[in-house]
Amino acid sequence: MTTITRVPAAKNKPNITAHVFLVALIIYFLLPLWWLFVASTKDPQGLFTGTGGALWFDKNFNLLANIQELITYKGGIYFRWLGNSALYSLLGGVGATVLAVLAGYGFAKFPFKGRDFSFAVLLGSVMVPLTALVIPTFMLMSQLHLTNTIWAVILPSLLSPFGVYLMRVYAADAVPDELLDAARVDGSGELRTFFTVALPLMRPAVVTVLLLSVVGTWNNYFLPLAVLSDQNLYPVTVGLGGWQALAASNNGGGTSLYTLIVVGSLISIIPLVIAFLSLQKYWQGGLSLGALK
Amino acid sequence: MTNPAAVLRAPSRRRNLRRPWIGWLFIAPFGVIFLVFLVAPLVYAFYLSLFSKGLATGTTFSGAGNYVKAFTDPEFLSGIWFVIRFAVILIPIQMAVSLAAALVLDALTTRLSRFARLAIFVPYAIPAVVGTLMWGFLYSPTFGPLTGLFKVVNQSAPEILSSGNIFGGLLNIVVWQWAGYYMIIIYAALRGIDPSLYEAARIDGATPRQIALRIKVPMISSAMVLILVFALIGTLQFFTEPQVLRPISNGSITSSFTPNIYAFDLAFRFSQFNYASTISFSLGIVVFIAVYIFLFASRKRRGGLS
């Protein structure tokens, strides 16, 4: 009886401190998003001199009008950028995942000559800062006349050494050799064995690598900034960054551009936030994969 | 040297050994991308860095000349010095926030803790450009809440984007952006610990704090090392956040603020592609060496402890 009453009492006290700590964290991490939402509902005037202050609504609720202006501004170039971001991150992300799954499975399940050496090279390459490759990649691409095309963004995004590493670690444990051997004895070819036996077992890691590479490409800024000069090809990150520089350089004239930046930022974060919230059960376990070894 | 484990396993893998190219076939598509977009740019950057381009002389071979120039160039060195200082201060703060959050979330299973887990993680799904834009607005005396807040106590708000405060301003943005991602990795590692360990410790009279510090933290050290490596690589190649803040920073973010910004400006504003390649290649080498030293030190330390 004493233990039953003591346990909750002992647990209650630290729980209050813990919950205060959590509330503080929630406020800190959501504050900018709250500001973004509130600011998207203001007209240009309200953004500068709102009656309710920076963190509360102005008297005019202008969200729909702001979205409308975003749709019509320069022939709707913002939504073109959003479409470009989706195209680059889907092609780049799916492509990078396919390559990583194949290579990870190859490293994990086939003992071939030179495997240990090439995997060591791969691990070393995880330590190469990918942004240090941006300017050399730009110059290589310009030799091949590929700059200022969608391929200049998509093709380099296919490179994901860390994805290969994750897939190898996962496949080594999740796909039993006996199962593969049994399929081979039954006369299944290597490709069929991969698709029907191995791939279904690797699914959680596949979703994780897919999410990581889609997010990586969607959020990328340096590479598209370097290799694209045609505004119509910009992803949304480069487009918004450009608006910001424009608005800052002609102070007063940039007034209405600020509302476009704010409402554009709000819309640009919705797709990925929804993707993460709906795919929770996959990434929460999957992100720790790399830490297993 | 043959790997003894591979020899021992060989009989059961007879089918594979007869066709050793199958493994390569699975790796080949990635291998092509690896060669074209990682090896080739590195080799090309190194090649370009060996030449100089002068207005009168044209392109001439200069050997290590560009590297001598880079490592005595005060602008490049100040950028390197900045990112090293930034990493040294940022990483402990970020580790502390994400570890503390993960430990608390691991100990609780309330509705609030589930919500907090998502709220802390959400910034990871937001592009660094948008995160930086938002904080830039929040820092601004015109758009942000600071002017209003400080008016209440009759003080003028601090200029976060001034050259004296920009370090802290950037620190805050990066912690906000990445702490949730690191928290989730640590949290998942904590969930992987066998709970019977805690039970045993509790019976031995350990307090929750002792369980957290003496059992949980040592058990997740490999996750911590992984995160530290990510944070180190990410910080040394710092680019997006300062680049986005630059137009509104009134000059406190210079064209050589970080090595990557310097390389970008050299290439795209001054068309010095040979020297920009040298800077990129040098940055790559500095990062590689820094990470290698870190991994070596952490392995040695952990080896000594166990």
For residue range B254-276, list pLDDT tens digits in order: 999 999 999 999 999 988 999 99
> Who among A14, A161, A293 is closest to B208 (CB)?
A14
Q: Could you tell me if A113 and B10 are in contact, meaning their C-beta atoms sit under 8 angstroms apart? A: no
- With CB atoms and an 8 Å threshold, state whether A116 touches B3: yes
Q: Are strands B58-61 and B51-54 parallel, antiparallel or unpaired?
A: antiparallel
CA-closest candidate to residue A122, choices A111, A106, A134, A142? A106
Whether A54 and A88 share a structural domain: no
Above 70 in pLDDT, residue B2? Answer: no
- With CB atoms and an 8 Å threshold, state whether A22 touches B104: yes
Average pLDDT over residues A185-192: 86
Contacts of B160 in chain A (CB under 8 A): none
Q: Provide CB contacts within 8 A for A271, sequence distance 6+.
A: A86
**Between chain A and chain B, how many beta carbons pairs sit less than 8 Å apart?**
297
A73, A227, B11 from B82: Cα distances, Å = 39, 27, 56
Tell me the H-state helices in chain B: 4-9, 14-18, 21-34, 40-49, 65-70, 74-107, 111-121, 128-139, 146-152, 166-191, 196-203, 208-210, 217-219, 221-236, 240-245, 259-268, 273-305
- With CB atoms and an 8 Å threshold, state whether A35 touches B134: yes
> Who among B23, B45, B233 is closest to A127 (CB)?
B233
d(CA A134, CA B239): 12
Q: What is the DSSP secondary-structure string of B128-144?
A: HHHHHHHHHHHH-TTTS
CA-closest candidate to residue A241, choices B246, B252, B259? B246
d(CA B223, CA B217): 10
The per-residue pLDDT for range A124-164, each reduced to its tens digit, is: 888 888 888 899 999 999 988 999 999 999 999 999 999 99
Q: Which helix (H) or strand (E) holds B51?
A: strand B51-54
Whether A45 and A131 share a structural domain: no
Q: Which residue of B has its CA nearest to A217?
A: B127
Above 90 in pLDDT, residue A190? Answer: no
- With CB atoms and an 8 Å threshold, state whether B280 touches A222: no
Average pLDDT over residues A183-189: 86
Average pLDDT over residues A165-174: 89
The per-residue pLDDT for range B206-233, each reduced to its tens digit, is: 888 888 888 888 888 888 888 888 899 9
Above 80 in pLDDT, residue B76? Answer: yes
Contacts of B21 in chain A (CB under 8 A): 112
- Side chain identity, residue A102: L
- With CB atoms and an 8 Å threshold, state whether A35 touches B145: yes
Whether A139 and A105 share a structural domain: yes
Q: Which residue of A has its CA nearest to B193?
A: A292
Q: Which residue of B has its CA nearest to A286?
A: B188
Rounded to the nearest angstrom, the minimum Cα separation between B11 and chain A is: 12
Q: How confident is the model at residue A90 (pLDDT cuts 50, 70, 90)?
A: very high
d(CA B54, CA B71): 20
Domain hosting residue A144, numbered range: 76-291
Q: Select the more confidently predicted residue: B250 or B120.
A: B120
What's the token pair of residue A189? Answer: 């070819």
- Residue B196, phi then psi, degrees to nearest 5: -65, -20
A-contacting residues of B 61-90, CB under 8 Å?
none
Provide the residue count of chain A. 293
Q: Among A13, A42, A69, where does a domain finish?
A: A69
Q: Provide CB contacts within 8 A for B252, sequence distance 6+.
A: B161, B162, B163, B166
> Who among A111, A135, A219 is closest to B267 (CB)?
A135
B251: left (phi over 0), alpha (psi -120 to 50) or beta: left
Rounded to the nearest angstrom, the minimum Cα separation between A202 and chain B is: 15
Rounded to the nearest angstrom, the minimum Cα separation between A212 and chain B is: 10
- With CB atoms and an 8 Å threshold, state whether B143 touches A39: yes
- With CB atoms and an 8 Å threshold, state whether B29 touches A221: no
Whether A175 and A273 share a structural domain: yes
- With CB atoms and an 8 Å threshold, state whether A25 touches B120: yes
Q: Could you tell me if B269 and B255 are in contact, meaning their C-beta atoms sit under 8 angstroms apart? A: yes
d(CA B48, CA B182): 37
Rounded to the nearest angstrom, the minimum Cα separation between B56 and chain A is: 23
3-state secondary structure A9-41: HHHHHHHHHHHHHHHHHHHHHHHHHHHHHHHHC
Residue A2, number of CB atoms within 10 A of its CB:
6
- With CB atoms and an 8 Å threshold, state whether A54 touches B143: yes
Angle between helices B128-139 and A2-40 (to 10 degrees): 80
DSSP A50: -
As a whole number of angstroms, the longest Cα–Cα distance in chain A is: 80
Q: 3-class DSSP state for residue B160?
A: coil
Q: How confident is the model at residue A2 (pLDDT cuts 50, 70, 90)?
A: very low
Quote the pLDDT of residue B160: 87
> Who among B16, B41, B192 is closest to A140 (CB)?
B41
What's the token pair of residue A255? Answer: 């007034």
C-alpha B109 chain-centroid distance: 30
CA-closest candidate to residue A216, choices A137, A161, A146? A161
- Side chain identity, residue B90: L
Contacts of A236 in chain B (CB under 8 A): 127
Whether A209 and A144 share a structural domain: yes
CATH of the domain at A223: 1.10.3720.10
Q: Could you tell me if B172 and A32 are in contact, meaning their C-beta atoms sit under 8 angstroms apart? A: no
Above 50 in pLDDT, residue B6? Answer: no
CA-closest candidate to residue A136, choices B283, B57, B81, B239? B283
Q: Select the more confidently predicted residue: A246 or A249.
A: A246
Quote the pLDDT of residue A286: 65
> Who among A39, A118, A244 is closest to B244 (CB)?
A244
- With CB atoms and an 8 Å threshold, state whether B189 touches A291: yes
Q: Could you tell me if A276 and A283 are in contact, meaning their C-beta atoms sit under 8 angstroms apart? A: yes
* Percent of chain A at pLDDT exceeding 70: 89
Whether A246 and A102 share a structural domain: yes
A28, A278, B127, B175, B296 from A25: Cα distances, Å = 5, 22, 20, 12, 34
Rounded to the nearest angstrom, the minimum Cα separation between A124 and chain B is: 8
ipTM, interface predicted TM-score of the complex: 0.88
> Who among A140, A237, A280 is closest to B127 (CB)?
A237
Q: Residue A112, exposed/middle/buried by CB under 10 A (0-12, 13-18, 19+)?
A: buried
Give domain limits for chain B: 1-49, 69-305
Contacts of A177 in chain B (CB under 8 A): 12
Whether A155 and A57 share a structural domain: no
Q: Which of A196-200, B141-145, B244-248 has the lowest mean pLDDT?
A: B141-145
Terminal CA-CA length for chain A: 44
- With CB atoms and an 8 Å threshold, state whether A133 touches B42: yes
Q: How confident is the model at residue A220 (pLDDT cuts 50, 70, 90)?
A: very high
Quote the pLDDT of residue B11: 45
Quote the pLDDT of residue A285: 64
How many domains in chain A?
2
Whether A242 and A287 share a structural domain: yes
Whether A41 and A96 share a structural domain: no
Contacts of B302 in chain A (CB under 8 A): none
> Who among B12, B101, B133 is closest to A261 (CB)?
B133
Quote the pLDDT of residue B212: 85
Whether A57 and A81 share a structural domain: no
Rounded to the nearest angstrom, the minimum Cα separation between B112 and chain A is: 8
In degrees, rounded to 5, the angle at the alpha carbon of residue A136 between the alpha carbons of residues A135 and A138 is: 60
A159, B30, B61 from A95: Cα distances, Å = 9, 10, 39
A-contacting residues of B 204-223, CB under 8 Å?
208, 220, 222-223
Average pLDDT over residues B86-111: 92
CA-closest candidate to residue A46, choices A31, A35, A61? A61
Task: Specify the CATH number of the domain B69-305.
Answer: 1.10.3720.10
Buried b (16+ CB within 10 A) or exposed e, B65-75: bbbeebeebeb
Above 90 in pLDDT, residue A87? Answer: yes
Rounded to the nearest angstrom, the minimum Cα separation between A173 and chain B is: 15
